């Protein structure tokens, strides 16, 4: 996706145009709130960065599924954990957990929930344009 973005910036001569954008998650372009869920998104054209905060007791199948309208989360994620812990179960039964300092690639078809009494806070470098929105 990133390579496609930069290819779209090519000039007629075939050189990539210089470009720079700076934004802050302190002033997100969009904030989506669902029960126990906050998604703060900054957009850079086709790219986005999303800061996710899930409160203790949060579970995708309980708090996001009614909005998404799918049986499991169908949004791909590229996550980085900042604080708290998030447990993920793929539709095929495989499981993993992400916490502070962990990075995770996660394909569509999963459920997830907060582990323990601390909110999970993480960054998602892939799913911001789709997450916590009604399915198409």
- Ranges 29-38, 41-50, 51-60, 75-84: which has the least confidence: 41-50
Mean pLDDT over 117-123 rounds to 98
Mean pLDDT over 51-77 rounds to 96
Question: What is the pLDDT, as a whole number, of residue 133?
Answer: 80
Q: How many C-beta atoms surround the C-beta of residue 90 within 10 A?
A: 16
Say whether pLDDT at 5 is over 50: yes
Q: Which residue has the higher pLDDT, 1 or 99?
A: 99
Mean pLDDT over 1-5 rounds to 59
User: Can you tell me the distance from the alpha carbon of 126 to that of 128, in angstroms, rounded to the nearest whole number?
Assistant: 6
Q: Which residues pair with 3 in a beta bridge?
A: none
E-only strand ranges, the chain: 30-34, 37-44, 47-54, 77-83, 85-90, 95-98, 103-106, 110-115, 120-124
The proportion of the chain whose per-residue pLDDT surpasses 90, expressed as a percent, equals: 74
What secondary structure letter does DSSP report for 10?
B
Q: Which of 59, 87, 60 is nearest to 73 (CA)?
A: 60
CA 15, 21, 25, 30 torsion-angle sign: negative
CA 87, 90, 91, 94 torsion-angle sign: negative
Q: Which residues contact 118 (CB under 8 A, 6 or more apart)?
A: 56, 83, 84, 85
Mean pLDDT over 46-61 rounds to 96
């Amino acid at each position: 996706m990133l390579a496609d973005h930069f290819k779209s910036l090519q000039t007629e001569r075939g050189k990539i145009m210089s470009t720079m954008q700076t934004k802050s998650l302190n002033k997100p372009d969009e904030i989506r709130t669902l029960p126990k869920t906050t998604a703060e998104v900054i957009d850079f054209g086709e790219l986005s960065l999303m800061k996710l905060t899930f409160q203790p007791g949060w579970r995708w199948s309980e708090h996001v599924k009614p909005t998404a309208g799918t049986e499991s989360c169908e949004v791909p994620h590229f996550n980085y954990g900042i604080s708290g812990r998030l447990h993920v179960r793929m539709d095929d039964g495989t499981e993993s957990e992400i916490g502070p300092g962990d990075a995770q690639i996660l394909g569509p078809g999963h459920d997830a929930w907060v582990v323990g009494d601390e909110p999970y806070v993480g960054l998602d470098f892939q799913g911001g344009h789709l997450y916590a929105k009604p399915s198409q």
